[in-house]
């Protein structure tokens, strides 16, 4: 994601570069902000009978957002408050921006603390989790999943339906060769940053004869192996970027040294104001439901050089964080 922050005008100019960037834009844009950009809408000049679709630069005041995770879609709705000179009859009407990868948008923040926090979120977006094509495999089935900062999308299943009459080793070889072929097709389609194979160690050793990629030994393969990979955070980069490590440490401190932990908006805000936060975990839904409170906490944590993890609510640690009030922190002292 490319971005530029103009603090004097409270403006963030952002060009999302891939679909995952739209998630961070969704978090950044609040109701009441002004979003500007090039768009196409119907325009009917005075004195003409028929309208035509015209490319124009507009600014709208945000009233609603609609975000779809795996569809790569972010739509922003609101009344037009700014329009380029010479375009009549558009200001005041409703318009919807479709924000897509590769198209620059300008966000004027209504709140100054939200602008300061925006820099922290944009820095997170720059260091986003590598896109992983996960192949979870055992001797019965393979499940292929696409793992990004947005979560996990199961793409395809392949079952080992070879006839039982042949030699066991040759049947497994035939199945693993099919797994390699399916992986190559999905790799070309999704262009992931990494391919990761997960499953029982004995299967992974044989998989390596057919395909190349990182190998993560775990107890199960197939669909169950996908869930095990996500639940246990077995891949180090995945575990760190998605906040698994920070959440595990937070739970450990809750059990052994609870004074080093703050949970809930009130306690975390007090810790943020005192500069005590070492790592902040905040639920994405908490940001959208309580933007003023959330951005104030994130802004203060960012200023004190805290590590910030935005956690998706539809993950296992998201469920735990929701029970803590949507926000928690590991403290420095």
pLDDT in tens, 282-324: 999 999 999 989 999 998 998 899 988 888 887 778 899 999 9
pLDDT score of 163: 46
DSSP annotation string for 304-327: TT-EEEEE-TTSHHHHHHHHTTSE
Q: How far is residue 15 from each of residues 96, 102, 147, measured CA to CA in Å?
A: 18, 6, 23
65 against 234, higher pLDDT: 65
Counting other chains too, the contacts that 62-65 makes at CB distance below 8 Å and 24 or more residues apart are 62/29, 62/30, 62/31, 62/32, 62/33, 62/34, 62/35, 63/31, 64/31, 65/26, 65/29, 65/31
CA distance 312 to 151: 8
Positive or negative CA dihedral for 91, 97, 101, 105?
positive
Q: How far apart are CA 60 and CA 81, in angstroms?
A: 5
State the residue for tokens 């040294």.
257
Instruction: Look up residue 10 and give its two tokens.
Output: 């409270």
Give the residue-averaged pLDDT of 120-139: 80
The answer to whether 26 and 65 are in contact (CB under 8 A) is yes
Burial of 83 (0-12, 13-18, 19+ CB in 10 A): buried
pLDDT score of 88 more than 80? yes
Residue-wise burial string across 300-333, b where 16 or more C-beta atoms lie within 10 A, e elsewhere: bbbebebbbbbbbeebebbebbeebebbbbbbee
pLDDT cut 90: percent of the chain above it? 56
The correct CATH number of 2-126 out of 3.90.850.10, 1.25.40.10, 2.60.40.420, 2.30.30.870 is 2.30.30.870
E strands present in 115-165 = 132-137, 141-148, 151-159
pLDDT tens column, 7-32: 889 999 999 988 778 888 998 999 99
pLDDT tens readout for residues 136-190: 999 999 999 998 766 788 999 999 986 454 444 567 888 999 999 999 999 999 8
pLDDT of residue 71 exceeding 80, the answer is no
Grade residue 46 by pLDDT with cuts at 50, 70 and 90.
low
Rounded distance, CA 300 to CA 245, Å? 22
Domain 244-331: homologous superfamily in CATH: Ribosomal protein L30/S12 (3.30.1330.30)
pLDDT at 247: 92
Query: Domain map of the chain by residue range?
Result: 2-126, 132-241, 244-331
Domain spanning 132-241: CATH 3.10.450.40:
no
Which H or E run contains 124?
helix 112-126
- pLDDT tens-place string over residues 264-287: 999 999 999 999 999 999 999 999
Domains 2-126 and 244-331 share a fold: no
Confidence of residue 237 (pLDDT cuts 50, 70, 90): low
CA 158 – CA 128 distance, rounded (Å): 30
Q: What is the pTM of this model?
A: 0.73
């Amino acid at each position: 994601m490319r971005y530029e922050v103009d603090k004097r005008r409270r403006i963030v100019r952002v060009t999302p570069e891939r679909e995952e960037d739209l998630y961070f834009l969704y978090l950044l844009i609040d109701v009441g902000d002004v979003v500007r950009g090039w768009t196409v809408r119907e325009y009917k000049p005075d004195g003409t009978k028929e309208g035509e679709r015209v490319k124009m630069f507009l600014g709208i005041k945000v009233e609603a957002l609609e975000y779809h995770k795996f569809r790569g879609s972010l739509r922003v709705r609101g009344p037009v408050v700014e329009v380029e000179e010479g375009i009549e009859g558009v200001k005041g009407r409703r318009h919807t921006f479709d924000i897509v990868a590769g198209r620059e948008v300008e966000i004027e923040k209504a709140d100054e603390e939200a602008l300061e926090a925006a820099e922290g979120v944009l820095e997170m977006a720059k260091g986003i989790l590598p896109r992983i094509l996960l192949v979870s495999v055992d001797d019965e089935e393979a499940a292929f999943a696409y793992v990004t900062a947005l979560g996990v999308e199961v793409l395809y299943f392949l079952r080992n339906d070879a006839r039982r009459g042949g030699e066991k080793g040759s049947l497994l070889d035939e199945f693993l060769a099919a797994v390699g072929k399916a992986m190559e097709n999905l790799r070309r389609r999704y262009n992931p940053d990494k391919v990761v194979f997960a499953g029982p160690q004995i299967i992974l050793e044989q998989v390596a004869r057919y395909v190349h990629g990182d190998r993560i030994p775990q107890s199960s393969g197939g669909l169950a192996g996908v869930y095990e990979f996500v639940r246990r955070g077995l891949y180090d980069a995945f575990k760190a970027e998605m906040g698994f490590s920070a959440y595990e440490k937070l739970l450990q401190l809750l059990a052994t040294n609870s004074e080093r932990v703050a949970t809930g908006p009130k306690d975390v805000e007090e810790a943020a104001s005192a500069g005590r936060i070492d790592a902040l975990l905040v639920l994405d839904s908490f940001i959208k439901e309580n933007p003023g409170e959330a951005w104030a906490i994130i802004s203060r944590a960012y200023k004190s050089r805290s590590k910030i993890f935005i956690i998706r609510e539809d993950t296992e640690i998201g469920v735990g964080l929701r029970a803590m009030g949507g926000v928690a922190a590991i403290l420095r002292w």
